[in-house]
A and B are shown apart, each in its own frame.
Chain A
Amino acid sequence: MLKDMELALQRTGLQTAETNPVKKSRLKPWMLIIPPALFFLIFLIWPLLQIFALSFTDAQGAFAAGSYVKFFGSDVYLKVIATTFRVSLVVTLSCLILGYPVAYAMTVCSKKISCLLMIAVMIPFWTSLLVRTYAWMILLQTDGVVNSILKSLGLIHQPLALLHNEVGIYIGMTHILLPYMILSLYPVMKGIDRNMILASRTLGAGKAHTFFRIFVPLSMPGVSCGAIIVFVSSIGYYITPSLLGGTKNMMISQEIQVQINRLMNWPFASAISVILLIFTYVILFFSKKVMKVEKLW
């Protein structure tokens, strides 16, 4: 009798927990994270620990905190950190301001147009960063395309200084990181239930009111996700700021590169990396509190 029932259950695919042979095995779902966890342990956590250890050594390899003393003892490095975070913040904000309307348009336009918009976002995304940076140099230089057009339109008489200053970095990095913002915003906006908008409208709220009270709050997980991706990527940018920036706009990765490659001061380079990592985590910790990242999941 019991056997018959079991057979029937098996046929219908409804197996009880006790008789399910798969459940009995020691293969637990959480074990799926073992390979990636090991990967991160070996190739991320372990090297990071090594960098941490290296940052507390001197040239002879003995224990020393000299690198940290040097870092906080001179305002040069704090200035570089300040530049790095300022640039990252401005780039994140400009990506958000430029990306939000694009992502919104993609969710409300006809399929054909939103497809075209997606292609317009993806093509630069797939183009080499180096190519795009050099292209910006050609566009922004003194006798470049942008200045020539503005001049021929009579909008300016003297060429604008768009290259080799912070403006150049903002333009180049915003362009390169914008797709990340749009691609983070789009799926969240797409997933917003349109009935909420309709409900708000039928209950008498105006278009603008509905947008700011209903749509924007519901899109916040996308905003925080995009902002964090763009901000964290910006912090480590190297090629774009070194090519588009000027003499005064040094970002932290350029400083680390100089310490490693030119001065061969690896302990100091490690110390800068550790400090940068800590600063970044502190900022992420607070932004997590403000932006409620967990809503993403």
Chain B
Amino acid sequence: MKEKTVRKNGSRIAAGFTAAAMICSMTACAGSSGSSSAAAANTTGGKKWSGKTLTVCSWGGAIQAAQKKTIFDTFAQKYGCTIKEDTDPTPAKVKAAVQANKMEVDVWDVDTDFAFRGEKQGLFEKLDYNVIKKDGLIKNFVTDYSVPSECPPICISWNTTKFSQANHPKTWKEFFDTSKFPGNRTLYSNPMSMLEAVLMADGVPMDKLYPLDVDRAFKFLDKHKKDISTFWDSGSQSVQLLNSGDDALGELWPGRVIAAKAEGQSIDFDPNEAIIAADSWVIGKGSKNVEMANDFIAYATSAQIVANYSVEYPGNAPANENAYKLMTKEQIDKLASSPEKIKNQVYYNVQWWVDNYDKVYQRFQEWKLQS
């Protein structure tokens, strides 16, 4: 009799498991935000990746729309495969996929500092440089595991009802000058590329920024804390803060400003003294399509494709310098970072940040919470 009870209970437990598993898979379905962009896959023609699917995770919004148009769709066309899109390539997502040993995204477009850190944690596959060509790629951002995808600068930006193209801060020093340019400021809630702006404002020449004098930067921030009303977390938030007039000045990504301007929002930017960060292509550790992923990255970083993308999304600097040769003067002038403008801009030193980020970020948080 006892045996029977156990068996009955056992089957009930099994039923519970099944129910739990069903709920789990249902939520998993609802949670996946991926969308498929199938190309006219030519199944009869002998294209290299006919019938295959590559999953790419990028930043969503205007960036990913431009990537889809100039990179994903044309790659799918050329190789006969399908590109499945995902969004929000956060470190946590990559790390979780590696830990669960379930890498469903093949190619990630991540922050370059994470590309550098994640490589030490074994989160990525090594790139195949027989397929990917380093020629023209921004050297500082090329490693065994990652290549730059694009280089977003961060720029002095303003609300156009308060300031104008003729009258606005043109340097970081002026950016913090409240007597000349009154109003609230909004800064990126990330010391990376923010401290560079602060140090330039305090008089450190652009070519002598690294190693960053963190003490000096925080001393300067102390003096100007009352003028900084917010630290923004997302690009859309930064645009909202400036457009609403809550903040008069901010350091923003020009890609966002250009898109907002096109929608008629009251916001503009100056590329002078911009700090250029970077994003990188990486292949998730455990991807089942490493060879196709290498082909994809080779394609996405080739000069012609980078040029096409830069025309579509002029807010970021091209990751491949050879792209300039394939663009008209008019197209280059539209870029937030062109060979001409880069003379007065600075690439961030990603290695310095990889070595110091945790410590500096902790200090930044402590500083924010001090009254």
Contacts and interface: CB of A to CB of B under 8 A. Distances in A.
A binds B: yes
Interface of A: 26, 31, 34-35, 38-39, 42-43, 74, 76, 79-80, 134, 137-138, 141-144, 163-164, 242-243, 246-248, 250, 255, 258, 260-266
Contacts of B228: 247
Contacts of B233: 242
A46 to B, nearest CB: 11
A270 to B, nearest CB: 13
Given A34-B16, A38-B16, A262-B361, 4 more contacts: A38-B17, A143-B244, A144-B244, A246-B229
Contact of B15 (A35, A80, A264): A35
Contact of B240 (A137, A246, A250): A137
A75 B19 CA distance: 45
9 contacts: A26-B4, A26-B5, A26-B8, A34-B13, A34-B16, A35-B16, A76-B362, A163-B246, A264-B121
B120 to A, nearest CB: 10
Q: Which secondary structure dominates where chain A touches chain B?
A: helix
B131 interface: no
Contacts of B368: 247-248, 250
A164 B246 contact: yes
B24 A43 contact: yes
Nearest to B231: A247
A264 B123 CA distance: 12
B190 to A, nearest CB: 8
A144 B240 CA distance: 13
A265 B358 contact: yes
A39 B230 contact: no
A260 B92 contact: yes
A39 B16 contact: yes
Contact of A79 (B121, B231, B246, B369): B369
B223 to A, nearest CB: 15
B36 interface: no
**Which residue, of A26, A80, A134, A247, has the highest number of chain B Cβ atoms within 10 A?**
A247
Contact of B366 (A74, A163, A258, A260): A74
Given A26-B8, A142-B246, A42 B371 contact: no
B95 A264 contact: yes
Contacts of B23: 39
Interface string B212-232: 000000000000000011110
A36 to B, nearest CB: 9
B371 A258 contact: no
